[in-house]
Structure 1
Amino acid sequence: MDLLLLSNSRTHGYGYLEHVRDEVTEFLAGATELVFVPYALRDHDAYTATVADALRPLGVAVTGVHTAADPVAAVTAAEAVFVGGGNSFRLLKTLQDTGVRDPIAGRVRSGALRYMGASAGTNMACPTLRTTNDMPITEPDSFTALGLVPFQINPHYVDPDPSSTHMGETREQRITEFLEQNDVPVLGIREGGLLRVRDGSARLGGVKGARLFARGAQPREFAPGDDLSFLLSGTPRFDVPA
């Protein structure tokens, strides 16, 4: 499999995907066309135009899957797909309703399709959308996502602020609650961070690190460049390595 999983597509002070230009360029090397999945936002045309503008300097032509008469045929013929961010519940429901969820997953697993996701699109690479930050504005048929990696990701991970007077749950507390009900690791990737999965390896990239949570283990910090390939083993319980 060949995956580029971004915590975020926009960073303060940069244009769309500009903060990960080098990583996107490397990921799309040799590709001339990309199918974009804009289902996480309501305005599919405007969203696709934003992505097309960002990737045009790389020589990559972008087609919105929503414009295809047969979306399944479009993803089946694609060499690369980008699933954009927005609302994860709306995204998953539309992937299910259009019938493209399983074809995307199957082709990515077989190595025939390169997969790039950002935010909600990164959530879709996980077994389920249960570690999304989004409101359930619509109801998918199930929470089952693409399952390209055997662990969960929490994009836009935010560290607790010890000076905050806010009394609501921190992101860490919410992930801890998730682990009380679900025995699967959760990788909280901070904004500016990404995960590159290729040829059976996984490496943290970008400019920000990540925090790994697992049931029965203390949270661990990982920095850009760290090897996280052990997460691909699919083992639901493990001792987080030092």
Structure 2
Amino acid sequence: MEINNKLRLMVISTSTVYGSDFLAYIRDRIADFIQVKDVLFIPYARPSGVSYEDYTQRVADALSPLGIKVSGIHEFENPGKALIEASAILTGGGNTFLLLKTLQEQGLLSVLQARLGDGIPYVGTSAGSNITGLTIGTTNDMPIVLPIDFDALGLLPFNINPHYLDPDPQSTHKGETRETRINEFHFYNEQPVLGIREGSWLLVEEGEIQLKGNLQARLFQKGKAPIELSPGKIDF
């Protein structure tokens, strides 16, 4: 799959790292990336018990020190028009099944896909990153709702597994590891899966994918041993 050279994406594993406030570790890089002062926020993956309004306000509070104004897509009478007119788009984390189902039901998935294909800056964290891949089949979330299907935006030639965790040799937990779950996925599916560790992200610009941050990412391909990818350009 060839990367659209107009795409401008930040595909972030997590909004919060240990010892840091919400978006604090990444917000300067978000500002440098989007290069605009107005952002449309998609809160549809909202965490349980958090309203769209509260979730949007949390993002607004995090980005306000940088002079960035955040508006929630739910505030607009016509969400599709809001996507078309947005200067930059940010989609937050929560539950990926809920996010995808809501985008599908509102007829926004294809609109979002088209806008990103035209080069509007897009920032996704967690669930917002999951949907940039081929499908959401490697999300870590429980299927609390049922989307029409699992097809995502298909902007990248692989699936995303955010919050990727390595097995802990000291752990007494004997359940499946993240690697085991991805291998199970590959028993039935062909597409590669990129596990992105906390504090890392993908930067997609000019037809290239760059791994950013200080940690490696883990690439899983069906029938092959996993590969550790160092920060820098990723080739497929």
TM-score bracket for the superposition, by shorter chain length: over 0.9
Secondary structure, counterpart of 1:45 in structure 2: helix
Report the CA distance between 1:173 and its aligned residue.
0.4
Aligned-pair identity (%): 48
Q: Distance in 2 between matches of 1:53 and 1:22?
A: 14
Deviations 1:125-167 (A, max 9, x none): 0111100000000111111111111211100000011222212
1:74 matched to 2:79: no
1:8 matched to 2:11: no
Partner AA of 1:4 in structure 2: M
Partner AA of 2:40 in structure 1: V
Q: What residue number does 2:145 align with?
A: 138
5+ unaligned residues in a row in structure 1: which ranges? 232-242
TM-score by length of 1: 0.91
Partner AA of 2:34 in structure 1: L
Report the CA distance between 1:98 and its aligned residue.
1.4
TM-score by length of 2: 0.93
Partner AA of 1:104 in structure 2: L
Give the number of the structure with larger relative contact order, counting CA–CA contacts within 8 Å between residues 6 or more apart.
2
Of 93-102 and 13-22, deviating more is 13-22
Q: Map 1:1-242; keep pairs closer than 5 Å.
A: 1-29=7-35, 31-41=36-46, 42-111=50-119, 113-224=120-231, 226-228=232-234, 230-231=235-236
Report the CA distance between 1:13 and its aligned residue.
1.2
Between structures 1 and 2, the one with greater strand share: 1
Report the CA distance between 1:170 and its aligned residue.
0.2
Secondary structure, counterpart of 1:105 in structure 2: helix
Q: Aligned-pair RMSD on alpha carbons? A: 1.1
Q: Is the 8 A contact 1:20 1:206 kept in 2?
A: no
Report the CA distance between 1:43 and its aligned residue.
1.1
- After TM superposition, the runs of 4+ consecutive aligned structure 1 residues lying more than 4 A away are none
The size of the alignment, in residue pairs, is 227
Secondary structure, counterpart of 2:196 in structure 1: strand
Q: Distance in 2 between matches of 1:209 and 1:85?
A: 22
Q: Distance in 2 between matches of 1:137 and 1:210?
A: 28
Secondary structure, counterpart of 2:26 in structure 1: helix
Report the CA distance between 1:5 and its aligned residue.
0.5
